[in-house]
Amino acid sequence: MAIIDPGHAAKQLIYERVFRSATLAAAILVLLILGGVFVSLLRGAWPAVTHFGFSFVTREIWNPVTDEYGALAPIYGTVVTSVIAMLIAVPAGFGIALFLTELCPPLLKRPIGVAVELLAAVPSIIFGIWGLFVLAPVLQRHVQPWLIEHIGHLPVVGPLFKGPPFGIGILTAGVVLAIMVLPFIAATMRDVFDTVPPMLKESGYGLGATTWEVMWNVVVPHSRVGIVGGIMLGLGRALGETMAVTFVIGNAHRISSSILAPGTTISSSIANEFTEAVGDLYTSSLIALGLLLFLITFTVIAAAQAMLRRLERRGFAVA
């Protein structure tokens, strides 16, 4: 006996509208958050932007006493530490992905994959405290003296490895960042490699190619876009990483020719100085640094997502 109660249907329709609007509002809030981040940072940075103009990004000076601020040293530190991190993490991540997709015994595949993902779950402050108390002394005692002695006097690259072994500094920050972004790069590359059709690989093996030749000549060309996307995703993390770097960078607002020397990055400057900043211009300059970081990382991450999406549209699922 199906009797349609008109009141009931009307009520259902109202519930439906309410629920739909609630989900839509939540979805739009996500857009608003990103817009809000940009607008609020711009507003906070405005005094510094109008006061210093473009010279903010070209000057190295950072002097709270005379109230003069320039972002060049933090920008330099951010870029150099991230480049060092990428130089280490990209080949290592590629190696791990290669191991997991081609070499690993099936029984170990899952545990090792999970271990790599757990490395990604460790909070950044833990990497910081470990970097400061464990990694920095090791680098200071064993690695940096070797670099100074053997590479320090070479032409061109020599100046990068001059000066005393501080332990903390740009190089150490780069190494810690490398370990932090390694799991992201390795996991993305593994997922991308898994999307290569087995037929292609088997064709390679059928022609008598070695594992490495199949990897380099079949898998890599096929997944180029995804590899670059994974690298850029890692780069985005490295550029914005804060706590781990703050522990080991040494927080010195200057640009040294040596990567063994202390430096600073955008995020570690903000973390170190924000709560102690007195005066509107000082605070505003730090927020301007944040705005710069936002624009840089947004560009890198957006480009990475666009690339990974292109891969997804070809019919592959990428985590």
Partner 1 sequence: MTRRTRRKLTNGVFLALSLIATMMGLACLAAILWTLVSNGISGMSWHLFTQMTPPPGGQGGLLNALYGSAVMTLLGILIGSPIGVLAGTYLAEYGRNSRLSMAIRFINDVLLSAPSIIIGLFIYEIVVVRMGHFSAIAGAFALAVLAIPVTLRTTEDMLNLVPLGMKDSSAALGAYPWRTTLSVLYPAARSGIVTGLLLAVARISGETAPLLFTALNNQFWSTDLNAPMANLPVVIFQFALSPYKDWQELAWAGALIITVTILVLSISARVLLALLQAERGSGR
Residues in region 258-287 near partner 1 by CB under 8 A = 267, 270-271, 274-275, 287
SS3 277: coil
Residue placing its CB nearer to partner 1 in the complex, 135 or 260: 135
Residue placing its CB nearer to partner 1 in the complex, 223 or 267: 267
Among 241, 281, 285, 311, binds partner 1 (CB under 8 A): 241
Instruction: Report DSSP letters for 226-249, one per residue.
Output: HHHHHHHHHHHHHHH--HHHHHHS
Tokens of 219: 């898998």
Nearest-approach distance from CB 147 to partner 1, in angstroms:
19
- Site track for partner 1 across 184-203, x = CB under 8 A: --x-----------------
Residue placing its CB nearer to partner 1 in the complex, 73 or 148: 73
Tokens of 119: 């490395």
Residue 109 neighbours by CB distance under 10 Å:
15
Ramachandran angles phi, psi of 103, nearest 5°: -105, -35
Q: How far apart are CA 45 and CA 153, in angstroms?
A: 43
Window 116-135: residues binding partner 1 (CB under 8 A): 116-119, 121-130, 132-134
Q: Which residues pair with 68 in a beta bridge?
A: 63
Identify which of 289, 248, 274 has the alpha carbon closest to the alpha carbon of residue 76: 289
Q: Using the rule CB under 8 A, give the single segment among 158-166, 198-206, 223-231, 294-302 that binds partner 1.
A: 294-302
Window 203-232: residues binding partner 1 (CB under 8 A): 210-213, 215
SS3 68: strand
Ramachandran angles phi, psi of 69, nearest 5°: -135, 140
Report CA-CA distances (Å) from 233 to 129, 238, 303. Answer: 24, 9, 9
Question: Residue 45: enclosing H or E segment and its boundaries?
Answer: helix 6-52
Window 146-165: residues binding partner 1 (CB under 8 A): none
Window 300-319: residues binding partner 1 (CB under 8 A): 301-302, 305, 309
Nearest-approach distance from CB 233 to partner 1, in angstroms:
6
Nearest-approach distance from CB 28 to partner 1, in angstroms:
8
Q: Using the rule CB under 8 A, give the single segment among 58-66, 86-94, 188-196, 218-226 that binds partner 1.
A: 86-94
DSSP 65: T
Nearest-approach distance from CB 255 to partner 1, in angstroms:
22
Tokens of 249: 């960078």
Q: How far apart are CA 103 and CA 211, in angstroms?
A: 9
Report CA-CA distances (Å) from 110 to 106, 117, 193. Answer: 8, 10, 16
Residue placing its CB nearer to partner 1 in the complex, 29 or 154: 29
Residue placing its CB nearer to partner 1 in the complex, 53 or 137: 137
Whether residue 149 contacts residue 164, with contact meaning beta carbons closer than 8 Å, is answered with: no
Q: Using the rule CB under 8 A, give the single segment among 149-157, 199-207, 223-231, 297-305 that binds partner 1.
A: 297-305
- Check residue 12 for interaction with partner 1 (CB under 8 A): yes
Window 13-72: residues binding partner 1 (CB under 8 A): 13, 15-16, 18-20, 22-31, 33-34, 36-37, 40-41, 43-44
Tokens of 7: 């009141």
Residues contacting partner 1: total by CB under 8 A: 89
Nearest-approach distance from CB 305 to partner 1, in angstroms:
5
Residue placing its CB nearer to partner 1 in the complex, 77 or 152: 77
Count helices and strands in the chain by DSSP H and E runs:
14, 2
